[in-house]
Structure 1
Amino acid sequence: MSANIKQLYDIQFSVLDLSPIIAGGTAADSLQNTLDLARHAEKWGYNRYWLAEHHNMPGIASSATSVVIGHVAAGTSTIRVGSGGIMLPNHSPLVIAEQFGTLVSLFPGRIDLGLGRAPGTDQLTARALRKENRMGGEDFPEQLAELRAYFDPEAFSGDNYVRAIPGEGLNIPIWLLGSSGFSAQLAGQLGLPFSFASHFSPEYTLPALDLYRRNFRPSSALDKPYAMVGLNVVAADTDEEAQLLATSMQQMFLNLLRNKPGQLPPPVENLESFLTEHEKAALQQRLATSVVGSAETVRNKLQRFLDRTEADEMIINSQIFDHNARLRSYEIVAEVTGRKA
């Protein structure tokens, strides 16, 4: 750990929105709530607003991620909007270059392209998306190189090549996302910013960040490492209220463990009474870095997490059933981190 300990007000905070579809709700409701949250996040001083690509998930409305990014960017003014992330093996690099070239042309200086190599879904759906046997993302580095080349007007010579229009010549910040060491090492070697999914892979956080920083090579994109970490946060006016609200997130992860994904359920009392010992242990491991509590509790836990990771930015995911409670959670985070007076 460095001698100069960062404080919460020293770093940027951002929003990761999975556009949750709540039990009894619709995707239309979810996307309206996404835009409302983005407008509040912009007002409260958050740095960026990212949306994630997931497929065949009854509780997530952001499967057409580029479309939702355009929806949010059009409804806000200053906040950066991007993908957390686009699962590149699901797509032709040319299509992503064109989509994000279009987004940057519409909203210059505000679009981020975060890329992952996982399918973001189950194997059956991945096959439906890809139509090719690329299940493991082994060719991700080659796909990434192809995508980056479409943005670089000097990458090709002669007349016999495909151009991304819009896209070619545009400055589109590319991030690599990961939940293990593969993308951490690749991001370091390429000199790109890196975002780690601590919100569902907490045990690999510190090793991945160390791998990224040790492998970092300065590039035209960055002269030094820039690491963002994802974190589940449920904040409320009291610890007890926050703990109750957090049971929606816990049930969501439990349903994934049981291979029964569904809509985001309402909070429940005494969740532990519904769990086996194995499920309790699995939830504890998966949600080990989650921050749940009142303003003071959240402030202290965020600072401890920052002390351990020395992150340059945190991106907050809050899976909360009630939209107003979700807004309040992000407002509390803005208050305790010095974004909102």
Structure 2
Amino acid sequence: MAARLRSVRWSVLDRALIRRGQSPADALRQTVRFAREVEALGYGRFWLAEHRGVPGVAGAAPTVLAAAVASATTRIRVGTGGVMLPNHRPLVVAEQFGVLESLFPGRIDMGLGRSVGFTGAVGEALGAGKDAADRFGAQVAELLHYFDDDDDGEGEGRVAAVPARGLRVPAFVLAVGAGGAIAAAHGLPLVMAHLSDEDRMPAAIDGYRAAFRPSARNERPYVVLAVNAAVAETAEEAALLQVPEAWATAWSRTRGVFSPLEPPEEILARPMTARERRLFAEARSGHVYGGEAETAARLARLAERTGADEILLTLTAHGDAGRLDSYRRLARIAGLPGGARAAPAPAARGR
């Protein structure tokens, strides 16, 4: 079990969620501080999500936030998980990542997704129509082309993405919709979210690997498994860590608003309708949590079953202490150097 977990790479995804009583600025500064803590623990990447027009989420501009994170750190790779390409022009995205890679050479990742606006109104404000996601494959191809060093952008009708041209920025595709097929066709790594129906994951990953075409960017398939995971002294405490984000997700599906994160004890004490209970349970399904031994066993089984090359961990608790303690424990499970040095923190009691 330990050997399997030490054979994969370990990274972190942060969504810059807002806690109750915080401002968006508070949440963004907290993300930058958290990146420094994650780097000290030995994680390999720190990725930032894109959620535009969503109350309760400060991470609306992942490339801008990536610049702040990269400036505040020295070693860890920084990227997006991901830029939702249907919301953008590929030329602009290429230029943004060209700037990032130029400023922080060898440390930038370009994760790409196909989701559109949080609501129809947000999609309209972004200029992304209902069919925007259908153009994702063509957008990926156009975006990658801007990095080709054989395209000098000269001549009538030619456009150069300065300073992206000729730079090697690793690109990843999120497995949403046809993401697996698009990643395989372009020879790119695939980011697969851990599904509550674990039987579906191996088939989807096997399909990606079978269709993979080696490219100048990648000679072989590469799978990143994104897992919402929490570890604490007890399984009960670990479960509490995941309550705030799960409730905010359930609330967004009933009210259309992703509410700021609240203390877990308050959430569990409030009355819920039957629909809210169902959505809350669905939001928590597929999460991995427990003490260190049981969580290590679960993650090892997932890594073995999927053949994942990398595990991308995500967790946003209501308070900092519980989340940092969880990532310290996960670092120990993974055998990361910072995890070996970190003394166990006091139990956070779900906070």
The TM-score normalised by the length of structure 1 is: 0.92
Alignment of 1:324-335 (within 5 A): 324-335=321-332
- Which letter maps to 1:240? E
Assess, with a 3 A threshold, how the Cα gap between structure 1 residues 38 and 270 changes in structure 2: closer, same or farther: closer
Q: For structure 1, which segment, 61-70 or 231-240, has the greater mean C-alpha deviation from structure 2 after superposition? A: 231-240
Partner of 1:46: 43
Matched, 1:95 2:92: yes
Unaligned runs of 5+ in 2: 341-351
Helix, strand or coil for the counterpart of 2:265?
A: coil
1:122 to 119, 123, 140: 119
- The alignment of Structure 1 onto Structure 2 pairs a total of residues equal to 336
Partner of 1:236: 232
Alignment of 1:303-318 (within 5 A): 303-318=300-315
Alignment of 1:37-76 (within 5 A): 37-76=34-73
Unaligned runs of 5+ in 1: none
Provide the identity percentage.
Answer: 38
Q: Is the 8 A contact 2:50 2:62 kept in 1?
A: yes
2:263 to 261, 266, 275: 266
In the TM superposition, residue 237 of structure 1 has moved relative to its aligned partner by: 2.0
Q: For structure 1, which segment, 14-23 or 278-287, has the greater mean C-alpha deviation from structure 2 after superposition? A: 278-287
Q: Is the 8 A contact 1:234 1:320 kept in 2?
A: no
In the TM superposition, residue 111 of structure 1 has moved relative to its aligned partner by: 0.3
What RMSD over aligned residues (CA atoms) do the two structures have, in Å? 2.3
Partner of 1:141: 137
- State how far apart, in whole Å, the 2-side matches of 1:73 and 1:256 are: 31
- State how far apart, in whole Å, the 2-side matches of 1:86 and 1:330 are: 25
- State how far apart, in whole Å, the 2-side matches of 1:84 and 1:213 are: 21
In the TM superposition, residue 23 of structure 1 has moved relative to its aligned partner by: 1.0
Assess, with a 3 A threshold, how the Cα gap between structure 1 residues 206 and 274 changes in structure 2: closer, same or farther: farther
In the TM superposition, residue 204 of structure 1 has moved relative to its aligned partner by: 4.4
Q: For structure 1, which segment, 27-36 or 199-208, has the greater mean C-alpha deviation from structure 2 after superposition? A: 199-208
Helix, strand or coil for the counterpart of 2:316?
A: coil
Helix, strand or coil for the counterpart of 1:179?
A: coil
Assess, with a 3 A threshold, how the Cα gap between structure 1 residues 164 and 239 changes in structure 2: closer, same or farther: same
Question: 1:271-309 CA deviation, whole Å, 9 max, x = no partner?
Answer: 387445554444444433211122222212211221221
2:80 to 70, 79, 83: 83
2:183 to 187, 190, 202: 187
Assess, with a 3 A threshold, how the Cα gap between structure 1 residues 157 and 80 changes in structure 2: closer, same or farther: closer
- Which letter maps to 1:29? D
- State how far apart, in whole Å, the 2-side matches of 1:5 and 1:298 are: 12
- Which letter maps to 1:97? A
Matched, 1:253 2:249: yes
Question: 1:150-191 CA deviation, whole Å, 9 max, x = no partner?
Answer: 1113246751211111111111111111234x1101111211
- Which letter maps to 2:87? N
In the TM superposition, residue 253 of structure 1 has moved relative to its aligned partner by: 2.0
Assess, with a 3 A threshold, how the Cα gap between structure 1 residues 291 and 249 changes in structure 2: closer, same or farther: same
Alignment of 1:13-24 (within 5 A): 13-24=10-21
Question: 1:107-165 CA deviation, whole Å, 9 max, x = no partner?
Answer: 000000000111152121011012x5354411111111111111113246751211111
Partner of 1:28: 25
- Which letter maps to 1:149? H
Q: Is the 8 A contact 2:227 2:287 kept in 1?
A: yes
The TM-score normalised by the length of structure 2 is: 0.89
In the TM superposition, residue 327 of structure 1 has moved relative to its aligned partner by: 1.1
